[in-house]
Structure 1
Amino acid sequence: MIDWTHWHNEPFLIGGLIFLGWLYAILTGPWREQLAPGALYPRRHAVKFYAALVIFYLAVGSPLDQAGERYLLSAHMLQHQLILYPAAVLFLLGLPDWLVRPLTGRPGLRPILRVLTHPLVCGVLYTAVITVWHLPSFYDLALQNRPVHIAEHFSFFGAALFYWWPLLSPSKEFPPASYAWQMLYLLAVLIGMTPVFAYITFSTDVLYPTYEYAPRIVDGLSAAADQLLAGAMMKLVGMSVAMIAFGVSFYRWFQASEARAGKKQGRDCTG
């Protein structure tokens, strides 16, 4: 059964998160003057960045990992939602423009980054990564093989950064897409993700043997019901987050349109 006192403390996980936190502190602290002369300490960015690290650890290092790896697909799905949404969003929001400029500002990298950060590439990459990992052969392999499971979670996080880039890019060289394109992008990715949502939610068979034969730790929650819950969670959370983002983009697009119309009317009156 689940040991609710067990938290992962592997050196690569704890050490990696501590290293990222230390590197961020160095770059935004002692080295800030070299990267962005005159810039103030990005306090709000820092809070978001460190919150992203905490959420990532809660997703993969807490007892939730044991529940998702051995017993419940729905628990594993919750892990993925934490990685794909709050962790990735806060990570990007925690990066000031001047912190990513040494990478995005390199002339030699611009052609590659221009392709990689294009909304079409970001959307296809995100959809492909999530879909492939949810195929039974890959998904169960990750559950049975710890290094593969780690690779799965890091690839989810990387794919999520690409997914959110056209919406939340911190870079002036590769800024977010226009609001109109953001709305189209969000709808397109939702449509692209529908097959994997439907595959998990409406399958008449239990797709993943690990969960089919796992001890039932929640009374009344069969493997089939757990799978239905996981698929519904995947669909509803993903759709809700996308619709919130769509609403924000629509509001900003409307505000920008009103501002442009106001300026045009002012010029006409002046003329």
Structure 2
Amino acid sequence: MGTHEQHLLLHGYQPKFAELWNPEFLAFVVLLGVAYFMLIGPWRKRFIHAEPVSIGKQITFMTALLTLYVAMGSPLYFYGHVSFTLHMTQQSLLLMIFPPLFVLGLPVWFIRAVLQPVFVRKWFDRLTKPLISLFMFNLFFSVYHIPLVLDFVMQYHGVHIAYKLLLLFTAFMIWWHIICPVPELQRIKNVKLMGYIFAAGVLMTPACALIIFASQLVYESYSYGPQLFAILPILDDQQLGGVVMKMVQETAYGVGLWHVFSKWYREENPTTGIDEIDPLESFEPMEQRKELTIVPTSGRV
């Protein structure tokens, strides 16, 4: 079968600059960055309790945008249709790295303002129920890696992008609980949250195991890919892709687990220094460090 990109390369096609670096997507990412700095700069005075945004948060958000571009706008995206290992590397960046960095980089006062309208908060509360978030992401992730589904998705660009957006949306749902920056919106914490992270990792295991331990080619879409690079046999490329995804997932969830544990430890040992246990604490708003609950007021947003 093979993907469209594989067939092009097999016939000697040389990808153009725009196909490898996607200037349109780069422009989109740059606009997001400009909007962010306008938000935390000139537009900040329009928001209530809008504290200055720390350099750490700004760096985090810019890192998120860089991660997004590497995953969706760099040559990694094009060659992710050729090599399954590169495809899973792209998936890992998009689903395991970008969402937490993006949320951590946003000002808390902006998140509160976005969620202030009643209808927005209503749907947000429904979609971010812990069990729903846990179930939805892992369901769509597992379905995506069913051979019949992935082979179909990879043949149609529009379908592929739509499913990517669906996976990204549900990834934000599951990461919200792990790194929730708004104290009053934290639904689960401490032991329950650690159990949530553990369950999230376990539920991803079957899809990764299917790929890692397969003794034959699982995805026809990648039947030609590794031969073009002459680096890995097809089966090795497939198995390495599963290993990459699982390793990145374990690392990302491991950092999240340590973050949750260290916050719990500080609650039980309040004399511990803010950054002594968990370096991610420096990215959190001051009111969350002090465990205060601030209720949004009416009027300006």
Which interval holds the TM-score relative to the shorter structure? 0.7 to 0.9
Q: For 1:19, give the aligned amino acid.
A: L
Is the 2:53–2:107 contact (alpha carbons within 8 Å) kept by the matching residues of 1? no
| TM-score, scaled to structure 1 | 0.85
Aligned residue in 2 for 1:44: 56
1:94 aligns with 2:102: no
**1:177 CA displacement:** 2.6
Percent identity at matched positions? Answer: 29
Q: CA RMSD in A?
A: 2.4
Shift of 1:176: 5.9
Which of 33, 39, 45 is residue 45 of structure 2 equivalent to?
A: 33
Which amino acid is 1:116 matched to?
L
Contact residue 22 and residue 74 of structure 2 kept, 8 A: no
Give the secondary-structure state (helix, strand or coil) at the position aligned to 1:40.
coil
One-letter amino acid of the counterpart of residue 9, structure 1: N
Find the aligned partners of 1:233 and 1:41 in 2 and give their Cα distance. 34
Structure 2 residue 200 is the aligned partner of structure 1 residue 156: no
5+ unaligned residues in a row in structure 2: which ranges?
1-8, 272-301
Does 2:190 align with 1:179?
Answer: yes
TM-score, length of structure 2 as denominator length? 0.77
Per the alignment, residue 125 of structure 1 pairs with 136
Q: Rate the CA distance shift 1:220–1:15 in 2: closer, same or farther, 3 A.
A: closer
Q: 1:148 to 1:198 in 2, by over 3 A?
A: same
Higher relative contact order (CA 8 A, sep 6+): 2
Q: Which amino acid aligns with 1:7?
A: L
For 1:22, give the aligned amino acid: V
Note closer, same or farther for the CA distance 1:221–1:228 as it changes in structure 2 (3 Å cut).
Answer: same
With over 3 angstroms needed to count, the CA separation of the structure-2 counterparts of 1:144 and 1:10, relative to structure 1, is: farther
What SS does structure 2 have at the residue aligned with 1:36?
coil
In structure 2, C-alpha distance between the alignment counterparts of 1:244 and 1:58, rounded to whole Å? 22
- The verdict on how the C-alpha distance between 1:170 and 1:250 changes in structure 2, with shifts beyond 3 A counting, is closer
CA contact (8 A) 2:226 2:233 kept: no
How many Å separate the matches in 1 of 2:239 and 2:71?
21
The one-letter code matched in structure 2 to 1:226 is D
Identify which range, 77-86 or 170-179, moves more after superposition. 170-179
Structure 1: gaps (5+ residues): 261-271
Contact 1:80 1:156 in 2 (8 A): no
**CA distance 1:215–1:179, change in 2 (3 Å):** closer
1:16 aligns with 2:34: no
- Out of 209, 221, 241, the residue aligned to residue 230 of structure 1 is 241
